[in-house]
Structure 1
Amino acid sequence: MQQRQRQAPVPLDDSPIARLYQQHALSLMSYVRRHVSSREDAEDIVLEVFLAALEQKGLGQLSEPEQLAWLRGVAHHKCVDYHRRSTRRRAVSLEEADEALLTDEERGPDQLALRCEEDALLRERFTQLPDHYQTILLLRFARGLRCTEIARHLNKSDGAVRMLLSRALNILREIYTTS
């Protein structure tokens, strides 16, 4: 029985970031996976690392070992951020959970008004996103499509869809924090 070796996907282009991804994605995924419980979260963190690499202008001038050290450092910081975010999630009391499960018909007028205000605020901030980010968020959250389904629908790779989704959510988060 022949053992298959896992390899990073072949990049669609020969850009420096694509080569960097091909060389280091699997080792970074292995590192992150040791520190994060779910595979999906690990994939998201590795995606964030390469997004940071894409934005780092001087990375191409570094030697390969220096690039790897930089990527591992970013991966470490992203893992720390992940754990900080997960510990900050507040516990929800049973009363709050029960209220969250109420249908609109069971809510009081004040709760409905508050929900309408929150929805209007979300729609307003959502429209500030570029159209392609709006589309990807609608497909994911309004229609409930998974990344692979969105990729087929948009004729993009699964990785490209994950990257677009991550960027869209980060931009929406920034819009919320700056407003």
Structure 2
Amino acid sequence: MYLYDKDASAGMDALYEQHAGAIFDYLRHRTPTRQDAEDILLDVFTAAMEDRKFAHLAEREQVSWLWRVARNKAVDAFRRLRVRQCLTLEQISEMIDDDHLLDPERAALQLDYVAQVQQLMTHLSPLQQEIIQLRFGYELRCPEIAQVLGKREQAIYTALSRALNLLRSVHTRQ
């Protein structure tokens, strides 16, 4: 097991502060329970601390490494559970902020919007869905998405463009 020195530990603390929330959100939408997402997030950062090469990567590479490991661990957890991904009532309630809970009409409109987006996303391949979610849901840029998914940047740009065009054409037909 590799242990960080004090400087590296401070860097890991900063990485955690900056990126743990977004990675947790990503994991939360891919795991059945909040506890599973928390466990995987802990595994991701533990793996980073144990990896001898991690501390020597540039910050951008470290962030991509964290996202890639989080994605792989979520996929592994999904395969172990062999359950179909769906939103639980707990997940839906977490998506709606307190302001929407005070206004039932706005809450209903928000749920309707989420359902429409989910319906449109079914027209995309799983890879395109993940690219769209990483780009717009987690605000990662195409080079970061490429590193997370282990694809070339140009492939991500092309897949994103095609996915947006497909969504646009499906939406205008409806």
Please indicate, yes or no, whether the TM-score normalized by the shorter chain is above 0.5.
no
- Which category of TM-score, normalised to the shorter sequence, fits these structures? 0.3 to 0.5
**TM-score of the two chains, using structure 2 as the length reference:** 0.41
Higher relative contact order (CA 8 A, sep 6+): 2
Higher-Rg structure is 1
